[in-house]
Structure 1
Amino acid sequence: MSSSITPADLTTRGILNPAAGLQRFELRRTAPAPDLARLVDWHWVVRWSLAAPFEQEILPHPCVNLAIEAAGSAVHGIGTRREVARLEGTGRVVATKFKPGGFFPFAPLPMRRLVDSVIPLVELFGSVAEPLERAVLDQPDDATAIRAVEAALRARKGPEDAGLDEAMALASRAQGDRDIHRAEDLARAAGVSVRTLHRAFERYIGVGPKWIIRRSRVQEAAERVASGAPVAWAALAQELGYHDQAHLIRDFKAQVGFTPAAYAERCAAALLKEGAPGVKG
C-alpha cells in the first residue's frame, strides 16, 4: 500500500523559484506500492485555488509523468527545455512520476518519441484512459485515486526486458554520482562502449547520458540557490564536476534561462515576500 513520503525525502529540485510557487499551490507526494517501486519514483498531487493566474517554471527531470486532470489527462515525456505550467482558478492534478526508464514497460511507442512531447492519455492507453480518468477525477480522496492509477499500471505493464534494470541503474548513477562527469566516465564504470551506452539510454530512457548528467548538476545548483543559503560558485562548480565557474554559469543560464546571480535575486525576493515554502509529505 502507498504511504506518504517522509520529510527527509522531500525536495524542491526541478521546481524553479519554489518560494513563489509553493505559497500558491499545495504539493503532496506519496510513495508507490512496493510492487511498482522499481519503476515509479512517487505519485504527486497538486491542488490550487487562485484569484489570479500563476505560472510555475519547471526544470524537468529525465523521466516521464502521467498526469490526470480535468484540463486534459496526458503522458508528459522528458522535457529537455525549461517549462512553464500555468495555474488558474481552482484545480487538481493527480500524477505519477516514473524513474528514468521506468515508463518503458508501459510505453506503446519508442521512448525517444516521447521526448519533449505531451501526448493525450487516450492516444497511449486507448480504451483504458477514459474510465481511469473518471475514476481519478470523480474521487476526491487522493489515496483512492492513486490506487486506481496503480491498478491501471499493473494491468498495462508489458513483459520484462533484460536490459532495463541496468539502464535504470546507470541513469540513477548519472544523476547522483559526482565522480561521473561525462558519458565516457559512465561507460567505463559500466564496462561498455560509449556507443553501447547511448543505444541503451535511447531505447529505455529517451535521452543520452550526457544530458542527464548536465541536467542533474544544474538542478542541484538551482536548488541550493533557491534555499537562500550563500553559494560559493567556484567551489560548487568543482564539486559538480565542471571545468571552472564560467562553465557552470554558462550551463546554468542555458537551462534555467537566467544567470545564477539573476536567479538568486529572484529567489531571494520571493523568500523575502513569501516566507520559506514547504512541501507536504
Structure 2
Amino acid sequence: MTEPTNSEKGILHPREQARHRSLNRLAAGPEAGRFVEWYWIVEWDLDEPYTAEVLPFPAVNVTFEQPGGAFVNGVCTRKFERELRGRGRAFGVKFWAGGFGAITGLDVGSFRDEVLPLSAVFPDGDRLTDLVFEAESDVRRRAVFEAFLHDHLAPPDPSYELVREIVSTMAADRSLARVDEVTERFDVPIRTLQRLFRRYVGVGPKWVLRRYRLHDGAELLAQGEVAELAELSASLGYFDQAHFSNEFKQQIGLTPAEYAARAAAERQITYR
C-alpha cells in the first residue's frame, strides 16, 4: 500500500483545527486503490462547539458517522462547514476524482453539492453500514469497505484512467492555470475534456484548476511562506493580485491577508 499524504491542503485554518479534532488517514489497498485515494478518520471531544472548515477536493466522499448514518457526499463546490459538538467520530472514504463515477456508472455531476443516503446509491448500503459500525478498528472498517467494493468494481475504463491522470497533473503542477494548457498537454479537445469531467468528476476542468490553485495559495499562506501577495497571485496563474484576492475571499470568506494574519496568530498560540 502507498501511504496516504499528510498534506493539509483543503483544510482551512489547519493548526486551529488540530487543536479541536484529530485527523488520521489510512491507505487504500491495491485493488481498491484504483478508485479510492485514502480513508480518513476524524474524532473530537469538545466542551465548546467548534466549526471546522474545508475547501473540498473535486472528489466524492462516503462517510460513516454515529449517530447519523452513512452518506454519499457529492463534489462540494462551496466551502464546507461542520459544527463539531460534544464527542463524535467519522470514518470517511475519499475517492479519486472520477473514481466514484467509474465504479457506479453514475453521472457525478447529477448530484453535485448534494448528500445522498448510501442506500440510495447501493441497494445493499444499509448492510454495509451495519458492518462498518460493528467493526472493532479502523483497519477492520477499511477491510469491510474494500470487501464490499470488490463486489462492485468496474472493469478497466480508459476514459476514467485519462481523467484521473489529468486531474492528478492539475493538482501537482502549479504552472497549469488555463484549460487550453491542459488540452494541449494531453491532446484532448476541449469539448471532450468538458464531457469527461462532467461525467466522472462532477465539475468542469476550469473549476478544478481554480480549486487546486486556491488550495495551493491557502496552504502557503497558512504556513507563512508568502512574502508578497502579488508574487503568489502570479505564480498561481491569476491575472493580478486583485483577481486572486477576490476569488479567495469569495470561496474562503477572508482575504488572503486576513487568512495569513489568522494563521500567524495561530502559530504563536501553538508554539508559545
TM-score (norm 2): 0.93
Q: In the alignment, which residue of structure 1 is the partner of 2:131?
A: 135
- Give 1:196's match in structure 2, choosing from 188, 192, 196: 192
Identity of paired residues, percent?
36
Q: In the alignment, which residue of structure 2 is the partner of 1:279?
A: none
- Give 1:91's match in structure 2, choosing from 88, 91, 113: 88
Aligned partner letter, 1:73: A
Structure 1: gaps of 5 or more residues:
277-281
Check if 1:17 corresponds to 2:13.
yes
- Give 2:56's match in structure 1, choosing from 53, 60, 84: 60
CA distance in 2 between counterparts of 1:91 and 1:118 reads: 19
Q: CA deviation at 1:209?
A: 0.6
Local SS of the residue matching 2:31: helix
Structure 2: gaps of 5 or more residues:
none
Check if 1:122 corresponds to 2:109.
no
Segments of 4+ in structure 1 off by > 6 A?
Answer: none
Question: Alignment length, in residue pairs?
Answer: 271
Q: In the alignment, which residue of structure 2 is the partner of 1:221?
A: 217
Q: In the alignment, which residue of structure 2 is the partner of 1:110?
A: 107
CA distance in 2 between counterparts of 1:125 and 1:269 reads: 45
Local SS of the residue matching 2:167: helix
Local SS of the residue matching 2:93: strand
CA distance in 1 between counterparts of 2:3 and 2:158 reads: 31
| Contact 2:60/2:73 (<8 A) preserved | yes
| Contact 1:45/1:93 (<8 A) preserved | yes
Aligned partner letter, 2:234: Q
CA distance in 2 between counterparts of 1:230 and 1:217 reads: 14
Q: In the alignment, which residue of structure 2 is the partner of 1:81?
A: 78
Give the root-mean-square deviation of aligned CA atoms.
1.7
CA distance in 1 between counterparts of 2:210 and 2:75 reads: 14
Q: CA deviation at 1:208?
A: 0.7
Aligned partner letter, 2:246: R
Aligned partner letter, 1:189: R
| Contact 2:226/2:232 (<8 A) preserved | no
Aligned partner letter, 1:93: A
- Give 2:205's match in structure 1, choosing from 201, 204, 209: 209
Greater relative contact order: 1 or 2 (C-alpha under 8 angstroms, separation 6 or more)?
Answer: 1
Identify if the C-alpha distance between structure 1 residues 230 and 163 changes in structure 2 by more than 3 Å, giving closer, same or farther. Answer: closer
Local SS of the residue matching 2:69: coil
CA distance in 2 between counterparts of 1:75 and 1:215 reads: 21
Identify if the C-alpha distance between structure 1 residues 163 and 217 changes in structure 2 by more than 3 Å, giving closer, same or farther. Answer: same
Aligned partner letter, 1:161: D
| Contact 1:50/1:88 (<8 A) preserved | yes
Note the alpha carbon deviations across 1:158-203, whole angstroms, 9 max, x for none: 3333311111111122222233221111111121221111011111
Q: In the alignment, which residue of structure 2 is the partner of 1:156?
A: 152
Aligned partner letter, 1:171: V
Check if 1:271 corresponds to 2:267.
yes
TM-score (norm 1): 0.91
Worse overlay, 35-44 or 23-32: 35-44
| Contact 2:175/2:235 (<8 A) preserved | no
Q: CA deviation at 1:88?
A: 1.1
Note the alpha carbon deviations across 1:89-125, whole angstroms, 9 max, x for none: 1111111111111111333531111211111111111
Worse overlay, 69-78 or 227-236: 227-236
Q: In the alignment, which residue of structure 1 is the partner of 2:26?
A: 30
CA distance in 1 between counterparts of 2:202 and 2:101 reads: 9
Q: CA deviation at 1:245?
A: 1.8
Q: CA deviation at 1:136?
A: 1.7
